[in-house]
Amino acid sequence: MATDANTAVQKQAIQQQLAEIDLALKELEHSESAYRIVNQLLIKTDVAVLRSDLAAKKESLHARLQSLERHTAPKADGRDH
């Protein structure tokens, strides 16, 4: 089904974003300064604010991933959807 393929692509994209956020958070553990891309500009940003923003985005992505997984999980009555 096209919908299942689309959902799989969405899940993969979210998983990739989560991996990138985890790497960024790990790098921020050792950083005293950070920069954020806004449009085509690099803007110096407070590390604590950036960590908070990334943590919030990570939480949102986790919720979206769980929603997609529930949507694609087989039903208890044996039907797919």
For residue 81, tell me if it sits in a domain.
Answer: no
Q: What pLDDT does 56 receive?
A: 98
So what's the pLDDT on residue 76?
60
**Which residues share a beta bridge with 40?**
none
What confidence score (pLDDT) does residue 16 get?
A: 98
Phi, psi of 6 (to 5 degrees): -65, -45
CATH at residue 48: 1.10.287.370
pLDDT of the residue at 72 = 77
Does 16 map to a domain?
A: yes
Domain count, the chain: 1
Residues of the chain with pLDDT under 50: none
Name the E strands within the chain.
34-38, 41-45
Residue 80 belongs to a domain: no
pLDDT number for residue 19: 98
Q: What pLDDT was estimated at residue 81?
A: 52
- The answer to whether residue 76 is domain-embedded is no
Domain extent at residue 37: 2-71
Confidence (pTM): 0.79
